[in-house]
Amino acid sequence: MAPSLFRRVTRYRVSPTQNPLENRLTEVTAAVLENADFAADFASALLNAGCEDADRRLKMAPPDQVDEHKAEAERRHELRTALAAMSTPRVRVRTQVPTTSKHFVDLELLLRPPLGTIGDDMLFWVEVKHGADLSGDQLDFYLVDIESSDAAHKAVILLAPRDTMPAVGREHLSVPRVEWQSVSRVAAASAKETLVTERAWLLRQYSAYLKEEGLMDPEALTAAHALALLEHDAAAAAVAGICEQGDAYVQKHWSDRGSFQQTRKGDPRYGLGYWANYSPYRRGDTAAERWGGGWFEWGLRDTAGMEYLTEEKRGSFAFTAGVTLHAKSNPARVEANQQWLSERRADGLTSGTAATTGSASRATRTSSLPLRRSKSKGRLSASGLLRALRRSPTTRRRPEAGRPRMPISVVATSLTPIP
């Protein structure tokens, strides 16, 4: 029995410690597919975009790859034709579906012919992305595991925002890459066309949700957009200067930076998207015995890539400050650190569990929200980080009276978008 709409949309709700953005998007989409008679339109949007993707890649294919690209394009067009021939299909929607290799597919959509008719089943496994990158070789497992299905037509599909679409190699040629913006256009159009009041309301709400998540293109270029473009260069130059000054201040009063966003020449690339990591203890100090490893960091991030952003401030850039902790040696799990951790939570430090895997350094390079680690996450405001550092167990001695604090406050005092 399918779960209720409200059970789905509250399964991954926002809490004081985390905001499971990607999982909630999957559940909301599944709820709409089940309750708004949107499954066939959704599948059609996936295949239409998949065919466009295949045709585009065919035109750009090297001579020695033209045949395989042509075969894949033909396969996708055949899938679209088969879907178009399926009248009023029966629909089954599932999320977090286990596969034979013990992996989990985000969204499964099974379309079957109506009862009493003869026809082929169609199965879609959709890998839903919203800011996060692909995890390891998950697509390879999906492509192998889906072959165990009896469905005559099947496909593994990658669904992601246009700006953060993960790169896929030649080995994943059979995986259509579909932008969320393509789905949102169809949802908005279906809401306008339907005569069923309840369906129209739910599709309008879904479209509004996708727009809030930054997954829908604006209907037109407005005067505000034009003004933002006009002032873009000046704003970018201003924040680049702030990043440069903040970086110099941190290095002077805390420690030399470690890894950071670089230009091709190896210089800091200050400005939009800049990030830098630092030692978790001051220059000249050593790590405390109870510190399990990790580093401090700050940067200017695009909120669209912040999977665990609890504030409703997407669609802008934000200065952030935080700490990345190693999952296997997390000092937050050390009993002797619990008093310190309780005090830091009172300062605003939060942490939660993430569904991603992989090394913390890899997650950091993907320009995700600071504080990402392989199996858990946390977020700390700039002002909260200042207080945390002054009492941190990562250093053996406390800062001397009057010694300058961690200077992130020079850059920002909270996770706030640039006006």
Q: In the chain, what is the greatest distance between 2 CA atoms, to the nearest angstrom? A: 82
Strand runs labelled E in 30-89: none
User: With b meaning 16 or more CB within 10 Å and e meaning fewer, what string describes 285-324?
Assistant: eebbeebbebbbbbbbbbbbbbbbbbeeebeebbbbbbbb
pLDDT digits (tens, 9 = 90+) for 86-97: 888 999 999 999
Q: List the single range of 103-112, 264-273, 299-308, 363-372 with lowest mean pLDDT.
A: 363-372
pLDDT digits (tens, 9 = 90+) for 221-263: 888 888 888 998 998 999 999 999 999 999 999 999 999 999 9
Average pLDDT, the chain: 78
Q: What is the pLDDT of residue 325?
A: 74
Distance between alpha carbon 162 and the CA centroid of its chain, in Å? Answer: 12
Q: Check if the beta carbon of residue 417 is closer than 8 Å to that of residue 303.
A: yes
Give the dihedral sign, CA 54/55/61/66: positive
Bridge partners of residue 379, in order along the sequence: 350
User: With b meaning 16 or more CB within 10 Å and e meaning fewer, what string describes 21-59?
Assistant: bbbbbbbbbbbbbbbbbbbbbbbebbbbbbbbbbeeebe
Q: Tell me the pLDDT band of 385, cut-offs 50, 70 and 90.
A: very low
More confident residue, 158 or 167: 158
Residue percentage of the chain with pLDDT more than 70? 77
Residue 325: helix, strand or coil by DSSP?
A: strand
Helix axes 180-193, 197-212, angle to 10 degrees: 150
Q: What is the pLDDT of residue 309?
A: 56
- What residue has token string 């190896």? 266
Encoded amino acid at 181, one letter: Q
pLDDT digits (tens, 9 = 90+) for 313-358: 556 788 888 777 776 777 777 888 888 778 877 876 655 333 222 3
Q: Tell me the pLDDT band of 4, cut-offs 50, 70 and 90.
A: confident
Q: What is the pLDDT of residue 288?
A: 76
Q: What is the pLDDT of residue 329?
A: 73
Give the dihedral sign, CA 200/202/204/207: negative
Helix (H) or strand (E) holding 109: strand 104-112
Please give the DSSP secondary-structure letter assigned to residue 295.
E
Tell me: pLDDT of 43 over 90: yes
More confident residue, 219 or 108: 108
Is the overall model pTM greater than 0.85, yes or no?
no
Average pLDDT over residues 211-229: 87
Q: What is the pLDDT of residue 130?
A: 87
Q: Check if the beta carbon of residue 407 is closer than 8 Å to that of residue 246.
A: yes
Question: 155 φ, ψ to 5°?
Answer: -160, 145
Distance CA 419, CA 273 (A): 16
Residue 2: helix, strand or coil by DSSP?
A: coil
